[in-house]
Structure 1
Amino acid sequence: MSVQTSADSRIIQSVFQVLLISLLVLGSGRWILDELKSNESRLFQLYGIRQREAVFVTKEDQLDESCNVFEGQWVWDNVSYPLYTEKNCPYLVKQTTCQRNGRPDSNYQNWRWKPNSCDLPRFPPMKIFKAEEYNASIEYYWAPFIVESISDHATKHTVHKRLVNLDAIEKHSKSWEGVDVLIFESYVWWMHQPKINATFGDTSEVREYNVTTAYKMALETWAKWFKTKINPKKQRVFFTSMSPTHLWSWEWNPGSDGTCYDELYPIDKPSYWGTGSNQEIMKIVGDVLNRVGEHVTFLNITQLSEYRKDGHTSVYGERRGKLLTKEQRADPKNYGDCIHWCLPGVPDTWNEILYAYLLRSHSNSF
Structure 2
Amino acid sequence: MAKKIINPRLNAVGGQAVIEGVMMKHKDNYAITVRKPDDSIDVKTYKFSSIRKKSKILRLPIIRGFMNFIDMMILSYGTLNKATEMLGIVEEEEGKFEKWLKKNFGASILGFVMVIATILSLVLAAGMFILLPTAAGGLINSQIELGWSRAFVEGIVRVIILVLYLYFVSLIPDMKRVFQYHGAEHKSVFCYEAGVDMTVENSKTYKRFHPRCGTSFLFVLIIVSVVVSSFIPFTDVWLRTATKILVSPLIIGLGYEFLMYAGKHDNKLVKILTAPGLWMQRITTKEPDDKMLEVAIISLKSAMPDEFTNFTPPVSEVREAENLENTNNEETVKDSE
After TM superposition, is the score higher than 0.5? no
- Report the TM-score range of the alignment, normalised by the length of the smaller protein: under 0.3
TM-score using structure 2 length: 0.24
Give TM-score scaled by structure 1 length. 0.23
Could you say which structure has the higher helix fraction? Answer: 2
Q: Which has the higher contact order (CA 8 A, sep 6+)?
A: 2
